[in-house]
Amino acid sequence: MENAIEVKDLEKYYGTLKAINGVSFNVNEGEIFGLIGPNGAGKTTILRIISTLLQITSGSIKVFKHDVTKEAPYIRKLISYLPEEAGAYKNLSGKGYLEFIAGFYSDNEEMVNKGVEIAQLGERITDKVSSYSKGMTRRLLVARALMVAPRLAILDEPTVGLDVINSQEIRRIIKDFVKKGTTVLLSSHNMLEVEFLCDRIALLNEGVIIERGTPQELKEKYKAKNVEEVFIEAVK
Amino acid sequence: MRHFYNLVKKEVKELLTREVIVSMVFMLVFFVFMGRIIKGAEEEAKEINISILDLDRTPYLQNILNIVSKQGIEINSIEAEDIENAIKEAKEKNATVLLVIPPGFGVKIQEMEKAELEMYSIMKGLSIKETISSEIIKSIIGALNKSIATSFIQKAVPDKDPEDILSPIHTKDFVVIKERTIPGTPGVLFALITSQSIMIPLILVMVIMYTGMMVMTSMGSEKESKTLETLLSLPIGRGHIIAGKMAGSAIIGFMMTIVYMGGVRYYMSPMMGAPEISIHLKDLGLSMTSLGYLLLGTSLFLAILAALSGCIILGVFAQDTKSAQTMSYPIMLLAFIPFFLSMFKDIETLPLSLKIIVYAIPFSHPMIASKSLIFHDYSTVLWGIGYMAIFIAITMWIGVRIFNTDKVLTARFAIRRKKIGR
């Protein structure tokens, strides 16, 4: 199976602060890979670097064998990134926002219909984004990220701000997309979500990967009932 | 091109908020309202009503009446025994001025002695309108003086033109400027050139102010609404993002400028009557040619692009819309420096150090061009256009470079890093 992402000896400094310290991992094509870690572990930095938003201090990252530093514009055609703290343009309607995003891809009418279907906002899809609740905005953003059917979806806390029912629905949609061939790299604080969604996970602490494997392997290794216990034990 | 159009459409929709539309409508209504008040006040001021109390029964009264009637002013005679009663009667007749011809006025004039007229301005308030009527009366008295003096001269020296005796010296004025000798006085020439070129700096300052503010707001809003990361991760060239922001902001900025300038024009129209100068720049060989207009348009366009590209770079450092608007002040200040200087000084005559600073500001060049082109000085304008083109190329390159690095996002990181680490 081809590697969707290959991260080698990644280091990232913000001024003098070392945010990522020699991280290496691979994500297989067609799998859901989770990055877990406490606040400030460096999860978002890694996702932003893979999304071509931040530059690498040292090391290398390849997405479908393309270098993120040298081939950033090409990689942006392959990926879709959902930031944790994302918003949508407040003066546009939900549908208008999806149309705006779809405007950068071909076959955009079908894309918008797909987005409307994923967002499940009913008639409110034509209302201005400024009138949406946090949960509604998040659903719209998840729809935006997935409707473009990317080869690689990079999702930073995809269900943050959503209630239990909506979260479950979004997880189901993510799984459906993976069945259709999308690879997913996600970060989450929700251990239940990670266990339910991810084929493999990496535990990140202070910019270093301290553990990796399938949720089952890690639970067995740490004799833990769930990933949450694995996480607590590994971070100790 | 499709991506660019998509971005421009989004920018326009995002920037043209209900608040912006309301403020534009308010601005227009405000100026129209103020313009009507001023127009009304001016028309009221024209409605002058003069009462005359002739205590001398002088034959010169007819002279006064003839001059006054030429001005289209309503006049009425008052029969009263004293000033107090005359004022009372004038007030009843709604007069703005009471003119009293004291006894002995006619005799003094006939004997070529200084005679006195008493003028009582009846003020109903403290508005500017109240001062206009007394000024008109003074001009009438001036005309009366001239008329009486002329009649005396005609009687004394019938074969001479009284005008030659009243003003025996005539001057023939010439102005030597930029290798040209032009008939006229510096004052007239300055008034003519200013009337032709004053609008250019004003419009430019307004456009820079509004478009600059819009592009900064757009950048600040992307950060505030947390949409920038998503936008930067989309398959769009960084150059397209910058160009889309500049074009979208320019459209809204131009709309606001048109509304503002339209409002100001309406508001100022009662105060800005046609200049009473009988000569035109064309008569002096100082009009702008079609090439001049083309160069001026190019110069203006490039100055606006320079402002927008500068604002894009500043906008990268904005945290939100509020800080973005504050950060647009340096650009506005740079536009105001040549604007005020060009109003009071000719930039060409400034000391070298100040001149270098002014020339370094790209917005100075259309202001310089608006005057230089009247004198057909194309080389100065072409140098300015060349300088602005280089300035824009450099700032756009810096802008694209910044958008391709962490810096477009790290300004926010610098603050958040302390809170959440990474």
Give B149-168 pLDDT, tens digit per residue. Answer: 888 888 888 888 888 888 88
Residue A182 reports pLDDT greater than 60: yes
> Order of strands across the sheet with A32-36?
A79-82, A152-156, A183-187, A32-36, A200-205, A208-213
∠A105-A78-A161 over CA atoms, to 5°? 85
Residue B368 · residue B204 · CB < 8 Å: no
Which of the two residues, B195 and B204, has the higher pLDDT score? B204
Note whether A52 contacts B417, CB cutoff 8 Å: no
pLDDT at B418: 44
Give the integer Cα–Cα distance in Å for B135 and A48.
74
Sign, Cα dihedral of A186, A187, A190, A194: positive
DSSP code for B374: G
Average pLDDT over residues A214-221: 89
DSSP code for B120: E
Which of A21, A84, A91, A129 to mutate to test binding with chain B, by most B CBs within 10 Å of its CB? A91
Residue B25 · residue A99 · CB < 8 Å: no
Q: How crowded is residue A161: how many other Cβ atoms within 10 Å of its Cβ?
A: 17
pLDDT at B416: 46
Q: Write down all domains in chain A, each with its CATH number in brackets.
A: 1-78+153-161+185-236 (3.40.50.300)
Strand partners, A13: A18
Number of A/B CB contacts below 8 angstroms equals 91
Note whether A45 contacts B422, CB cutoff 8 Å: yes
**CA-based nearest residue in chain A for residue B231:** A101
- How many angstroms away from the CA of A77 is the closest CA of chain B? 5
How many Cα atoms occupy the beta-carbon half-sphere of A89 within 13 Å? 26
Give the integer Cα–Cα distance in Å for B300 and B298.
5
Closest Cβ–Cβ partner in A86, A96, A104 for B226: A86
Burial of B166 (0-12, 13-18, 19+ CB in 10 A): exposed
Determine which of A10-24, A30-44, B186-200, B275-289 has the lowest per-residue pLDDT on average.
Answer: B275-289
Q: What angle do helix axes B329-344 and B290-316 make, rounded to 10 degrees?
A: 150
pLDDT at B126: 67
Average pLDDT over residues B346-367: 87
pLDDT at B285: 66
Query: Of all residues in chain A, what percent carry a pLDDT higher than 90?
Result: 46
DSSP code for B16: S
pLDDT-derived band at B19 (thresholds 50, 70, 90) equals confident
Determine which of A116-130, A134-148, A196-210, B178-192 has the lowest per-residue pLDDT on average.
Answer: B178-192
Which residues of chain B are at the A interface, by a Cβ-Cβ cutoff of 8 Å? 2-3, 6, 9-10, 13-14, 16-17, 225-227, 229-230, 232-237, 404-406, 409-410, 413, 417, 420-422
CB proximity list for B51: less than 8 A, separation 6 or greater: B75, B76, B77, B78, B86, B89, B90, B93, B95, B97, B98, B99
Residue B97 · residue B133 · CB < 8 Å: yes
Give the integer Cα–Cα distance in Å for A105 and A109.
10
**CA-based nearest residue in chain A for residue B227:** A87
- How many angstroms away from the CA of A167 is the closest CA of chain B? 21
- Identity at A33, one-letter amino acid code: F
- How many angstroms away from the CA of A54 is the closest CA of chain B? 5
pLDDT at B197: 67
Query: Of all residues in chain B, what percent carry a pLDDT higher than 70?
Result: 87
Give the integer Cα–Cα distance in Å for A27 and B322.
42
Measure the N-to-C terminal CA separation of chain A; round to a whole number of Å. 34
Q: What angle do helix axes B128-156 and B60-70 make, rounded to 10 degrees?
A: 130
For B88-99, write each residue's pLDDT tens digit. Answer: 888 888 888 888
Give the integer Cα–Cα distance in Å for A116 and B360.
52
Number of H helices, E strands in chain B: 18, 6
Average pLDDT over residues B271-289: 61
Residue A76 reports pLDDT greater than 90: yes
pLDDT at B400: 87
Cα–Cα distances (Å) from B137 to B87, B118, B149, in that order, read 17, 11, 18
Q: How crowded is residue B300: how many other Cβ atoms within 10 Å of its Cβ?
A: 20
Q: pTM of the full predicted structure?
A: 0.74
Read off the tokens for A95: 């549908």
- Identity at B311, one-letter amino acid code: C
